[in-house]
């Protein structure tokens, strides 16, 4: 892949900043990255840190870019897309806006089909995210590789066979960090009730999640086997898991993810009506 790839970010918020930090000087030179954002302070910070070219309005940067990354809020995307449409030719459009279906974005862009829709998550801010990705039929193999390289700057990428799977990804990994934080909160609460201080509870809970996740990632065995290995009948772990089963915690988690997926589908319908 060429190292002079020209990329234009529409929006300079947290996710855009994370991606720019991962690709500037690696995938392409900072000077080949344009950032368009109405907030001068955001542009100044990115220019200082990564040497990017900045602008407060859409102009020549679009026409000369190979890839356009839409990193604005979903509510702003329709207006931005209409502004972009006259400037597009064969560029790859990469959307990281939640809830916006590729077909609707294509319609707003005047029928442009070189679109990759993505669903990253917040650990991307530290390069540890995971992003679900799906490409429309107008995306070339080279453009698909470009999209993959950009999002891999923020962690792991998973390509999907059809766009409807994005709703499942949203429920599983897009919203997933919040579920982990919620469970950590519960463990911290228990730690406090057991007499540990807040700092101790936080350290123990976070290290437990981090270590268990790394163990699962490095093991070829199913996580169910790893769980069974630390669960001795009549022991402390057995007591805890028995209590969770009595309250159908696993079922509650599955129902929660189904609710998230349903809401993702609803948001797609709502945004698509315009």
Cβ–Cβ < 8 Å for 130, 173: yes
Complete domains list, the chain, with CATH = 7-160 (3.40.50.720), 176-268 (1.10.3730.10)
Cβ–Cβ < 8 Å for 41, 189: no
Strands of the sheet with 67-70, listed across from one edge: 53-55, 33-36, 7-10, 67-70, 92-95, 115-119, 129-135, 155-159
Taking residue 200's Cβ as centre, other Cβ atoms within 10 Å add up to 14
| CA neighbor of 174 nearest in space, from 263, 69, 104 | 263
268: helix, strand or coil: helix
Residues in contact with 156: Cβ distance below 8 Å, sequence separation at least 6, in sequence order: 129, 130, 131
- pTM for the full model? 0.90
Tens of pLDDT along the chain (274 residues) come to: 556 899 999 999 999 999 999 899 888 999 999 999 988 898 999 999 999 999 877 877 788 899 999 999 999 999 999 999 999 999 999 999 989 999 999 999 999 999 999 999 999 989 999 999 999 999 999 999 999 999 999 999 999 999 999 999 999 999 999 999 999 999 999 999 999 999 999 999 999 999 999 999 999 999 999 999 999 999 999 999 999 999 999 999 999 999 999 999 999 999 887 7
């Amino acid at each position: 892949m060429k190292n002079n790839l020209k990329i234009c970010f529409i929006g300079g918020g947290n996710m855009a900043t994370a991606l720019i930090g991962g690709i500037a000087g690696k995938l392409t030179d900072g000077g080949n990255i344009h950032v368009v954002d109405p907030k001068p302070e955001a542009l100044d910070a990115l220019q200082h840190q990564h040497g990017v070219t900045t602008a407060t309005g859409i102009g020549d940067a679009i026409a000369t870019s190979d890839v356009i990354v839409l990193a604005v809020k979903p509510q702003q995307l329709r207006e931005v897309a209409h502004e972009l449409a006259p400037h597009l030719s064969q560029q790859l459009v990469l959307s990281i806006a939640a809830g916006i279906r590729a077909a609707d974005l294509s319609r707003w862009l005047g029928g442009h089909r070189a679109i990759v829709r993505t669903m990253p998550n917040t650990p991307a801010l530290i390069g540890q995210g995971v992003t679900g990705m799906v490409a429309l039929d107008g995306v070339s193999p080279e453009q698909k590789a470009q999209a993959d390289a950009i999002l891999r700057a923020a962690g792991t990428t998973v390509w999907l066979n059809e766009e409807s799977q994005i709703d499942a990804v949203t429920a599983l990994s897009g919203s997933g960090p919040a579920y982990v934080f919620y469970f950590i909160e519960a463990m911290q609460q228990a730690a406090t009730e057991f007499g540990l201080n807040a700092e101790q509870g936080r350290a123990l809970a976070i290290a437990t999640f981090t270590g268990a996740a790394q163990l699962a990632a490095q093991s070829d065995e199913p996580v169910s086997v790893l769980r069974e290995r630390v669960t001795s009948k009549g022991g402390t772990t057995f007591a805890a898991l028995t209590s969770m089963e009595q309250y159908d915690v696993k079922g509650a988690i599955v129902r929660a993810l189904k609710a998230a997926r349903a809401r993702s589908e609803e948001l797609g319908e709502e945004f698509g009506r315009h």
